[in-house]
Structure 1
Amino acid sequence: MPGTDAVSEVIGSIMLISLVVLAVAIVGVGILSQPPPVQTQYLDAIPGLSETKGLFLYHSGGDALFPGDFFVRVDGVDYFQDKLSIYEESWPWEIGKLLNVDGSQISEYSQIQIISTTGGQRAILVDIG
């Protein structure tokens, strides 16, 4: 029949364009459905020991940290919010403040790690050893 070839070519072109659009949409959904990356805090800390204060950490630079957003690991022992306090000040732990770790229980250490727990992931912010 005359004219049927042109209709078949149009239908084929529409189907090919539809498949390309569908493939691009699937790739786009796959890329956009990824969870946003978690931004880890930045921190510089200087450790110190005192007979009266035990282990303390001086916040010398970086982001302010809030209770529950991090913990401190000293020689493999984890110290969470209930064992951490800001010396003679209040939270957050920010530049210029001292973080006291478990009162006067620690008299020496070989490794200190400050570990972030924000975003449901753990990341080592500082490793002193």
Structure 2
Amino acid sequence: MRGYLWRSAAEEVRKVGGAAETLLPHRSLLRHRIAFGLATDNKPADPWLAFAAVVSRRDMTSGEVLGQGERLTRMQALHALTVGGAWVTFAERERGVLAPGRMADLAVLDRDPLALPLEELASPSCRLTMVGGRVVHGDV
């Protein structure tokens, strides 16, 4: 999502016109019960930029919204980042949810991304990170 809509929505509209409204059709995927995850191959990897992009579908340069009908709710975006991410990497039995016997990979944020104002969605800070149940960043 980030590479095509976060930075270049206006360019995509110019290239393909109305077809750009359904570019990266996340809402349609959900409607058809097609599993997907949110990720980026950009460095540094920042899941909150992808989260903000699918919730707002707003181009960071022009402010234009592309494909409003394909927006996800915050809960749907969080599910795609966690459960969906585990599923697309064939790790759904080990990761994606906090449950007994799972990896216990998690991040504690300074703010709730489900409640932040839209313009602040891409900016929560990580206070604590656990991988495999062990703290690798921050203090308990």
Normalised by the shorter chain, which TM-score bucket? Answer: under 0.3
Structure with the higher helix share, 1 or 2:
2
Structure with the higher strand share, 1 or 2:
1
The two structures have a TM-score, normalised by structure 2, of 0.23
The two structures have a TM-score, normalised by structure 1, of 0.24
